Chains A and B, each alone.
Chain A
Amino acid sequence: MISVVVTFLIIVVMAVFVIQPLFLEPGLEIKDTEKKSVALKQRKKILYRQIKELDMDYQLGNIQDDDYGQTRNELKKEVAEILTILNR
């Protein structure tokens, strides 16, 4: 008897849990509730880290002058673009 009750309860709870959203207003749009800028901020973080690592590689002699300058400029340019978008 108990197993029948528990079985019934599990089925009902799961069914309600899964079906409930279908009774929300039609045409519900799913958006990232975290700001859209989150991916950009993450990219910015990666770029900052890359600049730091690049500087370190340069200090350690792991990168040549011309490559260092070119790569650093590219990274800084991308950071600037992201900052422009984020500040809009």
Chain B
Amino acid sequence: MTPVIGGLAINLALGLAFVSIILHFFYLRNGDGRLFLSGQRAALAVSLLSILATLILAQLLITSNFDVDYVAHYTSLETPFIYKITALWAGQSGSLLFWLFTLSVYAVITILQNQRSQHKIMPWVMIVMTTVQLFFLILINYVSNPFIPTEADFVVANGLGLNPLLQNITMAFHPPMLYLGYVGFTIPFSFSIAAMAERDMNALWMRTVRQWLLFVWLMLSIGIILGGWWAYQELGWGGYWAWDPVENASFMPWLTGTALLHSIIIQEKKDMLKVWNMALIIITFTLCIFGTFLTRSGVMSSVHSFTASSLGPIFLGFVFLILVVSFLLLFNRKSFLQSEKRIESFTSRESGFLFNNVVFIVMCFAVFWGTIFPVISEAVRGTKITVGAPFFNQVNIPIGLVLLLLTGVGPLLVWRRTSNQSFIRNFTTPIVMGLVSALVLYIFNIRGYVLISFSLSAFVLTTIGFEFFRGIRSRMTSQKENPIIAFWRLIRKNRSRYGGYIVHIGIVLMFVGFTGHSFDSEKEFGLKKGDSEHLSGYSFTLYNVREEERPNHYAYIADMIVADAFGKSIVKLHPEKRIYFHRNPNPERRQPHSELDIYSTIKQDIYSIFNSIDLENEVAYLKIMINPLVNWVWYGGYLFVLGTLVALWPPRKEKS
């Protein structure tokens, strides 16, 4: 029964989406409030039906209803409960439905939040949001329907099961976070189109857009960090970022979103850069749709893409439509958005923000070009020229270092113009710290980007420390507070500013972690029981190989002792070679998978992979990697999230 109702829900939602858009347009023409109310209810019904359809699919997955093709493809009886739920976004049609589900939840919140206000722009907001929902409903109804039954006259006793790579707990959080970010950009986009359409950009608009921007940017950031964590824990190549097209797809809107978060401060404070900000919102949202296209179209091969399909042209058409309509509207409303104020000096904080924006956009373009180049080369020359990590690293490392430099320079610049006196006072200590770090690193024979990255990190940390110091000192003097109270109140009373600085500290820690990659070392070898191998001053002794049969796989486990240069045992590692679907009578359906074991410290990770096993000769083939400073990336990530939460935390209600 339930698949039928799921199918009905998405059918009905499709029809109501049309109805809602038409009713809102009629309301805008003749101002009859009944049409507005009815249109809004239709929009609400679209969202509720989409949510219902998603819950039905989840229920079908949990109950292993193999009468539905999607369920039979992505789960089996052995699939653990949690992965039956995560199978919701494992396949194409399910993930499209999940996109729609997320947008529908956002749409319901938007409607409820604005029931008593912003009625002037709300019809346009609803038109834009429902149009995006309509696009996904068309795809789900006509191109990739998750409720399609399995072939008639064919009873499926058991499903094919979930891809082993997706059977990792991070996968329960990484895609939903990414979706919350990607999809969430629809809200600022809708409000911006609405504000332009109605020529109404008041303080409520600014509050709505800023709060949503920060929230969805945080979700996207967490999604990206979790994706890196998953790749590091699961893919077994020892890294967390490979400039894979799907990774880039999430990184591009993050870059433009980050630029926007900075430039919108200028709009709020100085009433400048409004055209630029609108353009950034449009580009960021378009990149979110483009990212979904990259992930779901199968046009790029990716370690993160688990589907291939013919969705490409439809998505590209939608991307084109968004760009044309939005930029035409922006062009038409240029005079409304233009500001009378101008940036007065190159050495002003406004310039710093603008320069930071330009660098973010340049980086985004570099990533975009590298990502789509294989497709363009294939279309133009008939051969797919793959652009690998070396290209991205070569282009983006210097750009990233410029961004790191600006992270430090920005807070030291003064609004409107920085006088020579301020310049000397603000920059002397951080520059000295940066130079001293560079000198020490040079003495220890460190050169190139590594030297620049670590020195810039020292420079930026000093500038942020300096900012905290000046703030605390100011409170201690003016409010007569002790340093701890002054520190606490400084952050509490200036959440967005100091939350931002905490995010910047997180970024610096991440750069330190990225730079640690330059010192990676690795070795592959075969070991018999009792044999040892050495790498970077550590010895690895295989003392046992065990076998275990588990509910959804069969595992070979290599038990190793890791000892330091003095022979002292540090840790035992147990990487596994797993065979998923091992009970499947068809050997081709059985999937081998390496489950890693990692010994993680602040200094480095010892990363062990069980590549294969020679049962006849009793040899285990292993790979060991020593990855310095990887943990700094995750620590930076925690601070990054903490800082954003500080900035997002609502201030206490002001006393009247």
Contact = CB atoms under 8 A, between A and B. Distances in A.
A31 B203 contact: no
Contact of A14 (B45, B416, B470, B497): B45
Given A32-B116, A64-B416, A46 B422 contact: no
Given A3-B5, A31-B119, A39 B204 contact: yes
Q: By DSSP majority rule, is chain B's interface helix, strand, loop, or mixed?
A: helix
B478 A59 contact: yes
A19 to B, nearest CB: 7
A63 B203 CA distance: 25
Interface string B246-279: 0000000000000000000000110000000000
B16 A14 contact: yes
B38 A19 contact: yes
A45 B654 contact: yes
B599 to A, nearest CB: 44
Nearest to B52: A10
Contacts of A20: 38, 41
Interface string B21-65: 000000000011111111001101100010000000000000000
Contacts of B118: 32
B41 A53 contact: no
Interface in A32-58: 32-34, 38-40, 42-43, 45-46, 48, 50, 52-53, 56-57
Contacts of A19: 38
Contacts of B45: 14, 17-18
A21 to B, nearest CB: 4
Given A6-B5, A10-B9, A32-B119, A22 B474 contact: no
B207 interface: yes
A73 interface: no
A60 interface: yes
Given A32-B117, A61-B422, A62-B415, A46 B471 contact: no
A24 B415 contact: no
B476 to A, nearest CB: 12
Interface residues of A, number: 44
A80 interface: no
Nearest to A49: B651
Q: By DSSP majority rule, is chain A's interface helix, strand, loop, or mixed?
A: helix
Contact of A38 (B8, B117, B654): B117
A7 B33 CA distance: 30
Interface in B411-435: 414-417, 419, 422, 425-426
Contacts of A62: 349, 414-415, 422
Interface string B1-21: 100110011001000100100
A21 B555 CA distance: 62
Contact of B471 (A21, A22, A60): A60
Contact of A33 (B8, B32, B116): B116
Contacts of A64: 414, 416-417, 419, 422
Interface in B355-396: none
Contacts of A71: 415
Given A10-B9, A26-B34, A33-B116, A38 B204 contact: yes
A2 interface: yes
Nearest to B9: A10
Contacts of B422: 61-62, 64
Nearest to A7: B8
A53 B117 contact: no
A52 B471 CA distance: 13
B521 interface: no
A28 B37 contact: yes
Given A21-B37, A61-B425, A64-B417, A28 B204 contact: no
A61 B202 CA distance: 31
A45 B438 CA distance: 45
A10 B470 contact: no
A53 B494 contact: yes
B206 interface: yes
Contacts of A53: 269, 494, 497
Given A22-B34, A56-B474, A56-B494, A14 B49 contact: yes
Nearest to A3: B1
A30 B19 contact: no
A67 B416 contact: yes
Interface in B178-212: 202-204, 206-207
B38 A29 contact: no
Contact of B269 (A10, A32, A50): A50
A11 interface: yes
Contacts of A27: 32-33
Nearest to A2: B1
Contacts of B36: 30
A45 to B, nearest CB: 7
A60 B426 CA distance: 10
6 contacts: A3-B5, A7-B5, A29-B31, A62-B414, A64-B422, A71-B415
For the complex of A and B, the 8 pairs showing the least CB-CB separation, nearest first, are A28-B33, A21-B37, A43-B203, A42-B203, A30-B33, A34-B116, A3-B1, A21-B38
Interface of A: 2-3, 6-7, 10-11, 14, 17-22, 24, 26-34, 38-40, 42-43, 45-46, 48, 50, 52-53, 56-57, 59-64, 67, 71
